[in-house]
Amino acid sequence: MSTTRRGRVELRRIEDRTSRHASFSKRRSGLFKKAQELAVLCDAEVALVVFSPAGKLYEFSSVSSLERTMDRYHEFMNAERDARKHDDTIQTAMVIEGSEEEDATENWASAAGPSGDTSTPPLGAITST
């Protein structure tokens, strides 16, 4: 008598081709069912694309077309990329600005002389604008 064991499965490739195919089919069905449940229960826009080991395409979309969701995904990723570029530009400007402030502070401190008094700028450090 064999017993069906449930619980954690060791995640490694299933060597037997027939068992691997059966497992793929069952897991694919379960994944698509979960995608549909997520869409219905949470009013989420869900798209799922799966390629079988043989290269067959399986897809699910909770809206009228998968292409619409993919277009939305690409728009989002492009906006994120542009926002990261903008943030990087701002951070670079802040670093440059910060290094200029550090240079001015170092110059002020070195101009203070051996006493190290930086409470007032030395006479040579004051410039008129």
DSSP string, 3-21: ----S----S---SHHHHH
Give me the pLDDT at residue 103, please: 62
pLDDT 10s digits, 101-126: 666 556 555 555 555 555 555 555 55
- Closest by CA position to 17, among listed 9, 25, 28, 7: 25
pLDDT 10s digits, 77-95: 999 888 888 777 777 777 7
Q: Are 122 and 109 a contacting pair, CB within 8 Å? A: no
Give me the pLDDT at residue 100, please: 63
The yes/no answer on whether domain 17-62 falls in CATH 3.40.1810.10 is yes
pTM over 0.75, yes/no: no
Q: How far apart are CA 80 and CA 90, in angstroms?
A: 15
